[in-house]
Amino acid sequence: MNLLPQPMPDLLHIMRASPVIPVIAIDDLDQAVPLARALVAGGIRVLEVTLRTVHGLAAIRAIAEQVPDAILGVGTLTLPEEFAAARDAGAVFGVSPGLTAALIAAARSSGLPLLPGVMTPSEVMAAREAGFRQLKLFPAVPAGGVGMLNAIAGPLADVMFCPTGGISLHTAPQFLACRNVACVGGSWLTPKDALAAGDWARITALASEASALRVG
């Protein structure tokens, strides 16, 4: 990855704004705004709306316009052209499942701070070499979970993580106790049955539980 480092001075601040970043896939565009409002009402302001569905960009645009208290990120960035589109829709940071030279270049040219996914020590080192100090351990549990994070905290002490993938409310505290973890990502805050029922009170309750978790 022979590219200039990409400084991301605001990304760690964003990560520390919520102990949990919900990973959101919008199947029904009408749910986007009330879902975001319910999460923010429960104390979870940092939201990752993924591009896993056709409504991803439209949902980001709607939330950006109607839920100003949300700190809005775009997830599942896998193509360079998605960066500028997500930024223009209102996202203020991006999340990718992995990292390539093309994604690094797109992040730099778009100005969208990127939280890239890594799974191995070599991938962490390559991302760090490219200028990234905030990374997503993904998928966190298959990658080794808490044991992996603790093992690399010594040799790679200048990197902070948002582990995502297989984490629940019950296991989140174990991850948040790691000295190199700033927050965790999870989908448990947005269960499909609650979304289908429009049970925003339940979403707010789940967000309140998550926002009460402590880092470190």
Q: Which residue of the set 123, 136, 192, 209 is catalytic? A: 136
User: Hey, which bits of the chain come out as E strands?
Assistant: 20-24, 46-50, 71-75, 93-96, 114-118, 134-137, 160-161, 184-186
Whether 81 sits among the annotated catalytic residues: the reply is no
| 11 in Cβ contact with 136 (< 8 Å) | no
- Rounded CA-CA distance 42/189 in Å is 10
Residue 48 annotated as catalytic? yes
- The values of phi and psi at residue 151, to 5°, are -70, -35
| C-alpha span between 48 and 213 (Å, rounded) | 18
3-state secondary structure of 120: coil
Report the sign of the C-alpha dihedral through residues 21, 23, 29, 35, in that order.
Answer: negative
Residue 87 and residue 124: Cα distance in Å, rounded?
Answer: 25
Active site residues: 48, 136
